[in-house]
Structure 1
Amino acid sequence: MRILVVGATGLVGQQVLTQAQADPRISHITVLARKPLASTGKLQCHSVDFDQLPDDAQLWQCDAVICTLGSTLKTAGSREMFYRIDHDYPLAVARHAQQYGGRCYVLNSAMGADVNSRFFYNRVKGELERDLQALSFASVTLVRPGLIAGQRTEFRLGERSMQLLLTILAPVLPRRWRCNPADNIARALLDAAVRAEPGVHEVSSETLS
């Protein structure tokens, strides 16, 4: 099958690429990224402007989209920019993919995603989930991890400290509050894309630890 991946330079996205390249079920991987990446084997990378996505039918033809796009308020620099990266870009990708025949969309969302949340981050994630479902893909899977465990290229002190604390407390914590390894999340995303089960499905943090 052919998959299209956005957010491939992030912690989870890198794991998705690694696993997809080794997966015999995947015949072709298209990556859309702001920064150019090397194409190799069944991996074809394209540098794009997410504010002006190209209308190239060959670029968008895929069996499933896996989206791991996401930022932080600190990295984005403002709420407006965060909303654009975490809501508008994934939704624009979905619309383009659907326009050219895409039937499955798999999103790396977040535990606590809720349109009515008082927390901005969770509210944005909830709005994206809602708006994706309104597009009527044949298959939508919302993967909702908690704190993601893994080695990031950028250092996040608060996240690193929380990850250490949750790792120490893991034996006594409920499964939903434990760290979710990036490779587990990537595997859930990839499996959901391959299965492409009809309807809307959720993968909770409990199953990812």
Structure 2
Amino acid sequence: MKLLVVGSTGLVGRHALTLALAHPQIETVVAPVRRPLPAHPRLLSPVVDFDALPADAPWWHVDAVVCALGTTMRIAGSEAAFRRVDHDYPLAVARLARAHGATTYALNSALGADTGSRVFYSRVKGEVEHDLAAMGFDSLTFVRPGLIGGDREEFRAGERAAMVVLRALHPVLPKRWRINPAERIAQALIDAAVHARPGMHVVSSQALV
């Protein structure tokens, strides 16, 4: 199969890209990026502007999409900028891939995703799930981790503090509130793309511990 991975330079996306390139059922991986990736014989990594994606690029012809795009309010700087990365970009990728024949989409969403949430972050995650569900993918999977464990390129003080607390409480915490390793999240995304079960599915944080 041919797989499109977006967000391949982020924490979860890096693991998803590594897994995809090693997977025996994935012949080609397309990873559009803002800066070039190291060369690999099975990788095509076009440099793009996510605000102006090339609608007719031949590399949109894929079987499935794994989307690990995401940011934080601190990095984005405003609600509008956050929504653009976590809502608009995943939808733009979905529309173009779907228009070129993709039938499967797997999204790294978040615990608590809900269109009716009073929390802006959770509401945006719920809205992107809702809008993706209307696009007609044969197989659609939302992976909903809680706090993601792993080494990020950028420093996130709030997440670092939360990690310390959650690791200390790990033995007594309910599974849904435990740290979800980035590798487990990435594996769930790749599995969803490869197996392409018909219908809409949710992978909960409990399943990612």
Regarding TM over 0.5, the answer is yes
Q: State the percentage of identical aligned residues.
A: 57
Match in the other structure for 2:143: 143
Question: Following the alignment from structure 1 to structure 2, what is the Cα–Cα distance between the partners of residues 27 and 164?
Answer: 40
Look up the SS of the partner of 1:5 in the other structure: strand
Q: How far apart are residue 43 of structure 1 and its match?
A: 1.1
Cα distance in 1 between the residues matched to 2:19 and 2:169: 29
Equivalent residue number for residue 190 of structure 1: 190
Letter in 1 for 2:159: E
CA RMSD of aligned residues (A): 0.8
| SS of equivalent to 1:46 | coil
Counterpart-to-counterpart distance in 2, 1:144 and 1:186: 11
Query: Which residue of 2 is the match for residue 38 of structure 1?
Result: 38
* Mapped partners of 1:56, 1:27: distance in 2: 22
Kept in 2: contact 1:57–1:100 (CA 8 A): no
Aligned residue number for residue 25 of structure 1: 25
TM-score, with normalisation over the residues of structure 1?
A: 0.98
TM-score by length of 2: 0.98
Q: Which runs of 5+ in 2 are unaligned?
A: none
Shift of 1:55: 2.0
Distance 1:130 1:77 in 2: 25
The secondary structure found in structure 1 opposite 2:46 is strand
Alignment of 1:1-209 (within 5 A): 1-209=1-209
The 10-residue stretch of structure 1 (34-43 or 124-133) with the greater mean CA deviation from structure 2: 34-43
Could you list the per-position Cα deviations for residues 44-91 of structure 1 after superposition, in whole angstroms to 9, with x for gaps in the alignment? 101111111102342101110000000001111111111011100000
Look up the SS of the partner of 1:33 in the other structure. coil
Point out the more displaced range, 48-57 or 197-206. 48-57
Q: CA deviation at 1:136?
A: 1.0
Shift of 1:177: 0.4
Tell me how far 1:37 sits from its aligned partner.
Answer: 1.7
Runs of 4+ aligned residues of structure 1 deviating over 4 Å after TM superposition are none
Partner Cα distance (2:25, 2:165) in 1: 37
Question: CA separation in 2, counterparts of 1:138 and 1:107?
Answer: 14
- Runs (5+) with no aligned partner, structure 1: none
Cα offset, 1:38, TM superposition: 2.5
Greater shift in the superposed pair: 48-57 or 60-69: 48-57
SS of the aligned residue for 2:62 comes to coil
